[in-house]
């Protein structure tokens, strides 16, 4: 069951990513990418890493892609000429893929394969994740977080309004 779903999800992921690449409209591309992230998240869940799955959704779909959308809208990147022809043909793949992802989600939630698959060797709970992050890889995490801090400080310095100089 789990492996069927895995392959199904992989197929969805690949299709969605390909469609994302071939979209002319950036907003539509983002939507396919989000779909890809969904299937990826469910795959993570399937593989016994619910935390990673949740973060996939929260961080990638919920934050980064939203940021992408923000930029696309702010710059008005969407093409001005909307292609003619029946709209449903353009949206059929999206609807099918979306339906498939939703179906997988429902099946997983209803049957909870992580729970049913007995003796899952790779189950990774939040606690294990935290211990790995702040124990085994503590140094790497610190280095990366310092890098983020530098980036944040730098961005703030670039973006702040200097007194008397008006907007940057």
Partner 1 sequence: MNTAIITVILTLCKLALIFGVVLSMAAYLVLAERKLLGRMQLRYGPNRIGPGGMIQPLCDVIKLITKEDFIPERADKWLFLFAPGLTALTALLSFAVVPFAPPVTLFGQELPMVVCDLNIGLLYLLGLSSLGVYGVVLGGWASNSKYSLLGAMRSLGQLLSYELAMGLALIPVVLSAKSFSITEIVMSQATLPNLVKHPLAFLIFMISVAAESKRTPFDMPEAENEIVGGFHTEYSGMRFGLFFVGEYINLIVIGAMVTVLFLGGWHGPLLPPVAWFLIKVLFVAFVFIWARGSMPRPRYDQLMRFGWTVMIPIGVINILLTAAVLLAINS
Kindly list the residues in this chain that would bind partner 1 in the complex (CB under 8 A).
Answer: 27, 31, 34, 50-51, 53-55, 57-58, 61-63, 66-67, 69-70, 73-74, 78, 82, 87-88, 90-91, 109-112, 125-126
Please give the span between the terminal C-alpha atoms of the chain, in angstroms, as a whole number: 57
* Residue 80 burial (10 A CB sphere; 0-12, 13-18, 19+): exposed
Least Cβ distance, residue 126 to partner 1 (angstroms): 5
DSSP state of 123: -
Which CB atom, from 73 or from 143, has the smaller least distance to partner 1?
73
CA 42, CA 106: separation in Å to the nearest integer?
Answer: 11
Least Cβ distance, residue 143 to partner 1 (angstroms): 20
Least Cβ distance, residue 140 to partner 1 (angstroms): 21
Which CB atom, from 22 or from 91, has the smaller least distance to partner 1?
91
Which CB atom, from 27 or from 117, has the smaller least distance to partner 1?
27
3-state secondary structure (DSSP) of residue 46: helix
Least Cβ distance, residue 68 to partner 1 (angstroms): 10
Which CB atom, from 15 or from 60, has the smaller least distance to partner 1?
60
Which CB atom, from 7 or from 92, has the smaller least distance to partner 1?
92
CA dihedral for 87, 91, 93, 99, sign (positive or negative) = negative
Least Cβ distance, residue 110 to partner 1 (angstroms): 6
Got the DSSP string for 18-65? Answer: HHHHH-SSHHHHHHHHHHHHHHHHHHHHHTT-HHHHHHIIIIIIIIIH
């Amino acid at each position: 069951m789990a492996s069927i779903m895995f392959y199904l999800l992989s197929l969805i992921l690949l299709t969605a990513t390909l469609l994302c690449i071939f979209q002319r409209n950036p907003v539509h591309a983002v939507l396919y990418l989000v779909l890809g992230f969904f299937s990826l998240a469910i795959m993570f869940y399937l593989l016994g890493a619910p935390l990673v799955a949740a973060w996939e959704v929260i961080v990638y779909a919920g934050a980064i892609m939203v940021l992408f959308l923000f930029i696309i809208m702010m710059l008005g990147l969407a093409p001005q000429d909307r292609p003619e022809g029946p709209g449903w043909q353009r949206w059929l793949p999206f609807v099918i893929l979306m339906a498939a992802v939703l179906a997988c989600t429902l099946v997983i939630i209803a049957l909870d394969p992580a729970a049913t698959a007995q003796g899952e060797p790779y189950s990774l709970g939040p606690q294990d994740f935290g211990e790995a992050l702040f124990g085994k890889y503590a140094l790497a995490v610190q280095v990366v977080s310092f890098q983020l801090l530098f980036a944040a400080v730098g961005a703030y310095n670039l973006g702040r309004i200097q007194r008397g100089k008006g907007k940057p």
